[in-house]
Amino acid sequence: MEEIYVEYISEPKLTDPILIEGLPGVGNVGKLAAEHLIDKLKAKKFANIYSRFFPPQVLVGKDGVVRLVSNELFFVKKNKNNQTDIIFLVGDYQGLTPEGQYEISMKILEIAEKFNIKKIFTLGGYGLGRMVEKARVLGAATNPELVKEMKEHGVIFQEGEPGSGIVGASGLLLGLGKIQNIEGVCLMGETSGYFADPKSAQAVLGILTKILDVTIDYSELESKATQIEKITAHIQDLDTLPEKTQDDLRYIG
Amino acid sequence: MEEIYVEYISEPKLTDPILIEGLPGVGNVGKLAAEHLIDKLKAKKFANIYSRFFPPQVLVGKDGVVRLVSNELFFVKKNKNNQTDIIFLVGDYQGLTPEGQYEISMKILEIAEKFNIKKIFTLGGYGLGRMVEKARVLGAATNPELVKEMKEHGVIFQEGEPGSGIVGASGLLLGLGKIQNIEGVCLMGETSGYFADPKSAQAVLGILTKILDVTIDYSELESKATQIEKITAHIQDLDTLPEKTQDDLRYIG
Amino acid sequence: MEEIYVEYISEPKLTDPILIEGLPGVGNVGKLAAEHLIDKLKAKKFANIYSRFFPPQVLVGKDGVVRLVSNELFFVKKNKNNQTDIIFLVGDYQGLTPEGQYEISMKILEIAEKFNIKKIFTLGGYGLGRMVEKARVLGAATNPELVKEMKEHGVIFQEGEPGSGIVGASGLLLGLGKIQNIEGVCLMGETSGYFADPKSAQAVLGILTKILDVTIDYSELESKATQIEKITAHIQDLDTLPEKTQDDLRYIG
Amino acid sequence: MEEIYVEYISEPKLTDPILIEGLPGVGNVGKLAAEHLIDKLKAKKFANIYSRFFPPQVLVGKDGVVRLVSNELFFVKKNKNNQTDIIFLVGDYQGLTPEGQYEISMKILEIAEKFNIKKIFTLGGYGLGRMVEKARVLGAATNPELVKEMKEHGVIFQEGEPGSGIVGASGLLLGLGKIQNIEGVCLMGETSGYFADPKSAQAVLGILTKILDVTIDYSELESKATQIEKITAHIQDLDTLPEKTQDDLRYIG
Q: What is the 3-state secondary structure (H, E, C) of A21-42?
A: ECCCCHHHHHHHHHHHHHHHCC
Name the minimum distance, in Å, from the CA of C96 to any CA of chain A. 8
Chains D and A touch (3+ CB pairs under 8 A): no
Chain D CA closest to residue B57: D167
Name the minimum distance, in Å, from the CA of D53 to any CA of chain C. 6
Instruction: Nearest by CB to A168, from C56, C62, C68: name it.
Output: C56
Q: Mean pLDDT, to the nearest integer, of A196-201?
A: 96
The pLDDT tens digits along chain B (253 residues) read 789 999 999 999 999 999 999 999 999 999 999 999 999 999 999 999 999 999 999 999 999 999 999 999 999 998 887 789 999 999 999 999 999 999 999 999 999 999 999 999 999 999 999 989 899 999 999 999 999 999 999 999 988 888 779 999 999 999 999 999 999 999 999 999 999 999 999 999 999 999 999 999 999 999 999 998 888 876 655 555 544 444 443 333 4
Burial (CB < 10 A; 0-12, 13-18, 19+), residue B62, is exposed
Could you read off the pLDDT of C38-95 as tens digits, one per residue? 999 999 999 999 999 999 999 999 999 999 999 999 999 988 877 899 999 999 999 9
* Helix, strand, coil percent content, chain D, rounded in steps of 5: 35, 25, 40
Does the residue D4 lie in any domain?
no
Name the strand (E) or helix (H) holding B222: helix B219-232
Compute the distance between CA of residue C21 and CA of residue C102 in angstroms, rounded to an integer: 15
Name the minimum distance, in Å, from the CA of B54 to any CA of chain D. 8
Q: Indicate which of B8, B51, B53, B57 best probes the interface with D, i.e. most D CBs within 10 Å of its own CB.
A: B57
Instruction: Nearest by CB to B175, from A62, A67, A96: name it.
Output: A67
- C167, D7: Cβ pair inside 8 Å? no
Compute chain A's Rg from CA coordinates: 18
Of the ranges C106-110, D222-226, D244-248, which one carries the lowest mean pLDDT score? Answer: D244-248
What do you get for the CA distance between the two ends of chain D, in Å? 29
Q: Which residues of D119-140 are buried (b: 16+ CB within 10 A; e: fewer)?
A: bbbbbbbbbbbeebeebbbbbb
Does the residue B127 lie in any domain?
yes
Instruction: Say if residues D59 and D50 touch (Cβ distance below 8 Å).
Output: no
Q: How confident is the model at residue A79 (pLDDT cuts 50, 70, 90)?
A: confident
Of B119, B73, B90, B97, the C-alpha closest to B167 is: B97
B55 at interface of D, judged by CB pairs closer than 8 A: yes
Q: What is the pLDDT of residue B247?
A: 41
Of B64, B44, B53, B31, the C-alpha closest to B224 is: B31
ipTM of the shown complex: 0.90
A114 at interface of B, judged by CB pairs closer than 8 A: no
Is the pLDDT confidence value at A237 over 70? no
Q: Interhelix angle for D198-212 vs D219-232, to 10°?
A: 160
Q: How confident is the model at residue D244 (pLDDT cuts 50, 70, 90)?
A: very low
Is the pLDDT confidence value at A97 over 80? yes
Chain B residues within an 8 Å CB radius of A67: 175, 178
Does the residue B245 lie in any domain?
no
- C56, A186: Cβ pair inside 8 Å? no
Is the pLDDT confidence value at D231 over 90? no
D96 at interface of C, judged by CB pairs closer than 8 A: yes
Chain C CA closest to residue A140: C64
Q: What is the pLDDT of residue C187?
A: 98
Residues 6+ apart with CB under 8 A from D229: none
Instruction: Nearest by CB to B106, from A1, A57, A65: name it.
Output: A1
Our count of domains for chain A comes to: 1
Q: What are phi and psi of D74, to 5 degrees?
A: -120, 160
Of A14, A76, A80, the C-alpha closest to A215 is: A80
- D52, C103: Cβ pair inside 8 Å? yes
A63 at interface of B, judged by CB pairs closer than 8 A: yes
The backbone region for A154, taken as left when phi is positive above 0, alpha when psi lies in -120 to 50, beta otherwise, is left
Name the minimum distance, in Å, from the CA of A98 to any CA of chain B. 13
Instruction: Nearest by CB to B56, from D160, D171, D186: name it.
Output: D171
Strand partners, A191: A127
Name the minimum distance, in Å, from the CA of D221 to any CA of chain C. 22
Q: What is the pLDDT of residue C5?
A: 97
How far are the Cα atoms of B123, B155, B157, B162, B214 from residue B210, in angstroms, in the given order? 15, 11, 17, 23, 7
Compute the distance between CA of residue D111 and CA of residue A119 in angstroms, rounded to an integer: 53
Chain C residues within an 8 Å CB radius of A168: 56-57
Residues 6+ apart with CB under 8 A from A25: A31, A94, A124, A125, A168, A169, A170, A252, A253
B251 at interface of A, judged by CB pairs closer than 8 A: no
DSSP string across D158-182: -TTTTTT-EESHHHHHHHHHHHTT-
Q: Mean pLDDT, to the nearest integer, of C9-30?
A: 97
Compute the distance between CA of residue C67 and CA of residue C189 in angstroms, rounded to an integer: 30
Q: Interhelix angle for A198-212 vs A219-232, to 10°?
A: 160
Could you read off the pLDDT of A34-76 as tens digits, one per residue? 999 999 999 999 999 999 999 999 999 999 999 999 999 999 9
Chain B CA closest to residue A52: B99
Q: What is the pLDDT of residue B31?
A: 98
Chain C residues within an 8 Å CB radius of A166: 57-58, 60, 66
Compute the distance between CA of residue C92 and CA of residue C57 in angstroms, rounded to an integer: 11
Q: What are phi and psi of B21, to 5 degrees?
A: -105, 135
Q: What is the pLDDT of residue A238?
A: 52
A60 at interface of B, judged by CB pairs closer than 8 A: yes
Q: Partners for D (CB, 8 Å, 3+ pairs)?
A: B, C
Q: CA dihedral in degrees (A169, A170, A176, A177; nearest 10)?
A: 120
Q: What is the pLDDT of residue B252?
A: 39
D142 at interface of B, judged by CB pairs closer than 8 A: yes
Could you read off the pLDDT of D156-214 as tens digits, one per residue? 998 888 887 999 999 999 999 999 999 999 999 999 999 999 999 999 999 999 999 99
Q: CATH no. for residue D236?
A: 3.40.50.10900
Q: Indicate which of B58, B68, B102 best probes the interface with D, i.e. most D CBs within 10 Å of its own CB.
A: B58
Q: Interhelix angle for D169-179 vs D98-114, to 10°?
A: 50
- D60, C161: Cβ pair inside 8 Å? yes
- A54, B141: Cβ pair inside 8 Å? no
Is the pLDDT confidence value at C236 over 90? no
- B179, A55: Cβ pair inside 8 Å? no
What do you get for the CA distance between the two ends of chain C, in Å? 29
Chain A residues within an 8 Å CB radius of C2: none
Instruction: Say if residues A143 and A183 touch (Cβ distance below 8 Å).
Output: yes
Q: What is the pLDDT of residue D192?
A: 93
> Residue D44: CA atoms inside 13 Å, Cβ hemisphere, count?
12
Q: What is the pLDDT of residue B235?
A: 64
- Most distant CA pair in chain D, distance: 52
- A58, B171: Cβ pair inside 8 Å? yes
Q: Mean pLDDT, to the nearest integer, of D209-231?
A: 92
Does the residue B238 lie in any domain?
no
Q: Indicate which of C60, C65, C67 best probes the interface with A, i.e. most A CBs within 10 Å of its own CB.
A: C60
Q: What is the pLDDT of residue C104?
A: 98
Strands C4-8 and C44-51, by their bridges, are antiparallel
Chain A residues within an 8 Å CB radius of C60: 140, 161-162, 165-166
Compute the distance between CA of residue C14 and CA of residue C76 in angstroms, rounded to an integer: 9
pTM of this structure: 0.91
Instruction: Nearest by CB to D64, from C101, C105, C141: name it.
Output: C141
Q: CA dihedral in degrees (B221, B227, B231, B234; nearest 10)?
A: 100
Strand partners, D18: D86, D119
Compute the distance between CA of residue D147 and CA of residue D102 in angstroms, rounded to an integer: 25
Compute the distance between CA of residue A36 and CA of residue A208 in angstroms, rounded to an integer: 12
A216 at interface of B, judged by CB pairs closer than 8 A: no
Range of the domain at D223: 16-251
Residues 6+ apart with CB under 8 A from B135: B189, B190, B191, B197, B199, B200, B203
- C7, A179: Cβ pair inside 8 Å? yes
Does the residue B248 lie in any domain?
no
- What share of chain D has pLDDT > 90, as a percent? 82
Of C137, C59, C135, C114, the C-alpha closest to C91 is: C59
Compute the distance between CA of residue B85 and CA of residue C36 in angstroms, rounded to an integer: 73
Strands C18-21 and C86-91, by their bridges, are parallel
Is the pLDDT confidence value at A248 over 60? no
Q: Which residues of C9-34 are buried (b: 16+ CB within 10 A; e: fewer)?
A: eeebebeebbbbbbbbbbbbbbbbbb
Chain D residues within an 8 Å CB radius of B100: 99
Could you read off the pLDDT of C157-184 as tens digits, one per residue? 988 888 879 999 999 999 999 999 999 9
Q: What is the pLDDT of residue D235?
A: 64
How far are the Cα atoms of B236, D162, D179, D212, D242 from residue D125, in angstroms, in the given order? 38, 11, 24, 20, 20
